[in-house]
């Protein structure tokens, strides 16, 4: 069978970044049974970029814990529960290792757990205290590299008070960091500054500038190739061309491809063309895409102190033209008489 080999064009879009290491929720790392004369214990390791952990945080925690347990003696490390790059407040939906650990404790598969510090387990005070109480009720032994074993494993009022204060301080720290970051991003959005993430199709990062209020940041400037490609795409949509035709035109005319050299995806072109960025608006807190859930992107445009949309970059077209493009693409998307995706 003949296969087509794609070569990246001179203006290939960068690929989506991925984590260097992807960990499973649980990994059995020890022997099948504990070494004679020892008790089985499991490690809980967590890296959180939300709190600016370094990439090797998992490895550092593992080294510290295994050394501590070796000095104590009487333990055999049986396995590891790991969460990589997750914030504590999304534990319910994100932290697979933490959920698996709680499940295994409930099933009485784990009778001892070691972690680097209490705030590595949970930074929500009420949940942290509840988890410790559950572990004590299930006779699960807790070991921490940074916290007192007596505080974690003793059900006295004094121990509960100290543990509760630590958990509350961890939660306050998280909330304070979150408030500062949200305030910073709100000001960056109001000033029209770019604050990280994948660069939108059509623009690139410009030089650092300072606005009239003394706020400093980077604004988006037109990409030397992609911005004009979007202008051509607008004309092609108005002329009745399909997204596949646009993708092919981009590759032939501009060498604009994916990182692998394939045509730019129709979905990528569609999202770019219907984005309010096309008319220069600064987007803010756009929710993640959910199948079957339709949102109005104009509801997620950053606004200045007077409530007006923030113009943060040079537009591709005017608002009236953009609205026409959006209507045409929406009609094609819902048409029952022709297929909008993949039509030449």
- Split at pLDDT 50, 70, 90, the class of 343 is very low
324 or 311: which leads in pLDDT: 324
Phi, then psi, of 189 in degrees rounded to 5? -65, -45
Give the class (CATH, top level) of 26-175: alpha beta
Q: What is the pLDDT of residues 228-268, one digit of tens each?
A: 999 999 999 999 999 999 999 999 999 999 988 999 999 99
If we measure between CA atoms, which residue out of 76, 129, 81 comes closest to residue 102? 81
Please report the pLDDT score of residue 14 as a whole number: 74
Tokens at 123, concatenated: 């930074």
Output the DSSP codes for 270-338. HHHHHSGGGGTBPB--PPPP-TT----GGGGB-B-TTSPBPB-S--SS-HHHHHHHHHHHHHHHH-SSS
Token pair 């030397």 is found at 224
Query: Same CATH topology for 26-175 and 203-334?
Result: no
Structure tokens at 25: 């929720």
Interatomic CA distance for residues 58 and 120, integer angstroms: 11
pLDDT of residue 4: 54
What's the mean pLDDT in 49-64?
74
Q: How confident is the model at residue 1 (pLDDT cuts 50, 70, 90)?
A: very low
Q: Looking at 81-95, 202-216, 314-328, which range is the least confident one?
A: 81-95
Domain boundaries, the chain: 26-175, 203-334
Q: Kindly report, residue by residue over 67-90, the tens digit of the pLDDT.
A: 999 999 999 999 999 988 544 444
pLDDT digits (tens, 9 = 90+) for 106-160: 999 999 999 998 877 876 666 777 888 889 889 999 999 988 888 788 755 555 5
Cα–Cα distance for residue pair 33/30, rounded to 1 Å? 8
Is residue 276 pLDDT above 90, yes or no? yes
CATH number of 203-334: 3.90.1750.20
């Amino acid at each position: 069978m003949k296969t087509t080999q794609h070569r990246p064009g001179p203006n290939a879009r960068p690929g989506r970044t991925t984590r260097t290491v992807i960990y499973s929720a649980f990994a059995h790392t020890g022997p099948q049974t504990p070494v004679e004369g020892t008790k089985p214990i499991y490690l809980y390791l967590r890296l959180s970029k939300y709190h600016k952990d370094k990439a090797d945080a998992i490895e550092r925690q593992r080294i510290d814990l295994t050394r501590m347990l070796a000095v104590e003696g009487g333990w055999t490390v049986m396995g590891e529960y790991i969460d990589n790059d997750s914030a504590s407040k999304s534990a319910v939906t994100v932290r697979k290792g933490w959920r698996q650990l709680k499940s295994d404790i409930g099933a009485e598969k784990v009778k001892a757990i070691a972690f680097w510090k209490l705030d590595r387990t949970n930074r929500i005070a009420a949940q942290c205290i509840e988890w410790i109480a559950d572990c004590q009720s299930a006779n699960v032994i807790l070991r921490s590299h940074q916290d007192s074993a007596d505080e974690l494993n003793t059900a006295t009022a004094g121990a509960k008070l100290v543990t509760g204060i630590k958990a509350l301080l961890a939660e306050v720290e998280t909330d304070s960091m979150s408030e500062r970051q949200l305030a910073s991003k709100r000001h960056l959005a109001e000033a029209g500054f770019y604050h990280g993430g994948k660069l939108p199709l059509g623009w690139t990062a410009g030089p650092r500038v300072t606005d009239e209020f003394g706020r400093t940041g980077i604004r988006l400037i037109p990409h030397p190739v992609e911005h004009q490609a979007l202008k051509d795409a607008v004309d092609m949509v108005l002329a009745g061309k399909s997204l596949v035709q646009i993708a092919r035109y981009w590759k032939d005319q501009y060498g604009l491809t994916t990182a692998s050299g394939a045509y730019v995806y129709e979905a990528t072109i569609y999202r770019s063309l219907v984005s309010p960025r096309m008319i220069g608006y600064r987007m803010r807190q756009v929710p993640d895409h959910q199948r079957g859930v339709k949102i109005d992107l104009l509801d997620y445009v950053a606004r200045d102190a007077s409530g007006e949309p923030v113009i943060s970059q040079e537009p591709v077209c005017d608002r009236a033209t953009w609205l026409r493009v959006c209507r045409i693409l929406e009609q094609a998307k819902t048409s029952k008489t022709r297929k909008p995706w993949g039509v030449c």
